[in-house]
A = this chain, B = another copy of it.
């Protein structure tokens, strides 16, 4: 049992460190030291540092699914409001961390996608799942006539998530949530409103 506990500790500590410093800059020794786990035990749990990256991505996504699931299935809110609330929840977390760290998926996508094919594929899978969950809600919103029916829901969902990632990056450099708040305003009060071409 101790070994499983150790592995969870390494993943949790490693996730926090990689979110703060990036993947390359996070040394295995620093993780083990902070997790209070014996030196040398890292490779008992992970076949490589890339394998460890996959484990922290899985953990990050599992945590995020726990946050998103109740929001996405909240029948008391219209579908579009659920999408909006899911982004606003992430923005609050980001603000709580003084506009630092951001989203592990975006961070590692930027840092690792070109060189670690397994990591790229894992991130791609999760981004597609996230897109599908948002797209389902956008389709419902279209049925309820809340957003224009001529917009492609899949394309729009992917664009929402990408634009959120871009606004997150902009806020991280600006050290201000303003770009994220503008993202919410522009998409949910302007772009997705029912407007007619004049």
Contact = CB atoms under 8 A, between A and B. Distances in A.
A111 interface: yes
A114 B194 contact: no
Interface string A143-183: 00000000100011011011111110110111100010011
A20 interface: yes
A136 interface: no
Given A100-B113, A158-B170, A159-B186, 10 more contacts: A20-B115, A106-B110, A107-B111, A109-B173, A110-B111, A110-B172, A151-B190, A162-B166, A162-B167, A163-B166
Interface of A: 20-22, 24-25, 100-102, 106-107, 109-111, 113-115, 120, 123-124, 127, 151, 155-156, 158-159, 161-167, 169-170, 172-175, 179, 182-183, 185-186, 190-191, 193-198
